[in-house]
Amino acid sequence: MTVKLKTTTLVSSIVTALVATIMMATPASSAEKAKGWNQGGGEQDAALHLTPNLENGIEVYEVCAACHLYEGWGQPDGTFPQLAGQHQHVIIKQLADIRALNRDNPTMYPFALPESIGGPQSIADVAAYIATLPMNPEPGRGPGTDLKHGEQLYKDNCVRCHGEHGEGIEEKYYPRIQGQHFKYLERQFEWIRDGKRRNANPDMVKQIQGFSNKDMDAVLDYVSRQQPPADMVGVVGWENPDYE
C-alpha cells in the first residue's frame, strides 16, 4: 500500500517535471523543427515555378540592401555574405528555409517574413534580381598561408558538388561559393559541421566531420580565392545604378 502510494507520487512528480521541461523548452523546440536538407514543397516550390519580375525584384531587394548593400557585395568581415551572382535556386531555398525557421538566422529572420518582403512571387523576383548582380571583385580572403593544403582538400572533398572552381550547381541547390567572403564561409562551414545550421546537406555534414579548424581555414581560404567567370565580376567601386 505504502509502496503503491510512493510509486504514484513518484510517477506524478516525474510527469510534472516532464511537463515543466516540455513547457520550458517550447520556444526553442518549435524553432528546432528542422525539415531536413531539401524536402521542397511549400513556398520553395511555389517560388520556383513563378515567372520572375525583375522590376519588382529591385523593389524587394531594397530591404535586403540594408545589410547586403545595394551591390549585394556583403561585408568582407563576414558579417553579411555576398549575394550577388548567387544561383536563383539557392536564394529561393535559403529564403524559404529562413522564414520557415529551417535555417537558424535570428538577424535575418524578420526581413525574410512575408510582411517585410512579400509572398512566393516576391521570393522569385528578388532571387532572379540577385542572380543578375555583378560580383564583388575584392571579397574578404584568408591569410593565404596554407593554400596548397586547401587546394588538395577541395579536390578531395568539395569538387563533386561545388564544382571545379566553387561555381555550385543551380538545379541541385548547391551554392556558388567562389569569391564568397572567407569569414562568412568559415562561420557557415563550422555551423554545418557542428550541426547548428539546420538545413545543411547531410552528405556534406558527413563529408566534413573529420576537418580540423586548420583544414577548414585552408580549404575556405582557397575557395574565397576562386575566381567567378570574368563576365560575372564587377569593377572595383561599382555602384548599383538601380538605386540612384
Grid cell, residue 36, equals: 531536413
In the complex, least distance from residue 74 CB atom to other proteins, rounded to whole angstroms: 12
Whether 125 contacts 53, CB under 8 Å: yes
The interface with other proteins within residues 188-227 (CB under 8 A) comprises: 190
H-helix segments, the chain:
2-31, 42-48, 54-68, 88-99, 109-112, 114-117, 120-132, 147-157, 159-162, 182-194, 202-207, 213-224
> CA end-to-end span of the chain, whole Å?
83
- Cβ distance 117 to 69 under 8 Å? no
The C-alpha atoms of residue 126 and residue 118 are separated, in whole angstroms, by 10
Among residues 83, 92, 95, 101, which is the contact residue for other proteins, using CB under 8 A?
Answer: 101
Closest to other proteins by CB, 117 vs 233, is 117
Eight-state DSSP code of residue 235: P
> Nearest-CA neighbor of 40 among 92, 116, 110?
92
User: Restricting to residues 37-96, which ones interact with other proteins according to CB under 8 A?
Assistant: 63, 66-67, 75, 77-80
Query: For other proteins, which is the closer residue by CB, 31 or 54?
Result: 31
Which of 3, 5, 23, 28 is in the footprint of other proteins by CB under 8 A?
28
Q: How far is the CB of 76 from other proteins (least distance, A)?
A: 10
Cα R_g (the chain), whole angstroms = 22
CB of 123 to other proteins, least distance (A): 19
Of 160-189, binders to other proteins (CB under 8 A) are 183, 186-187
Identify which range of 29-37, 146-154, 199-207, 228-236 contacts other proteins by CB under 8 A.
Answer: 29-37
How far does Cα 165 stand from its chain's mean position?
19
The answer to whether residue 156 forms part of the interface with other proteins (CB under 8 A) is no
Q: Is 34 in the site for other proteins (CB under 8 A)?
A: no
Residues of this chain that interact with other proteins (CB under 8 A) are 27-32, 63, 66-67, 75, 77-80, 101, 104-107, 109-111, 116, 183, 186-187, 190
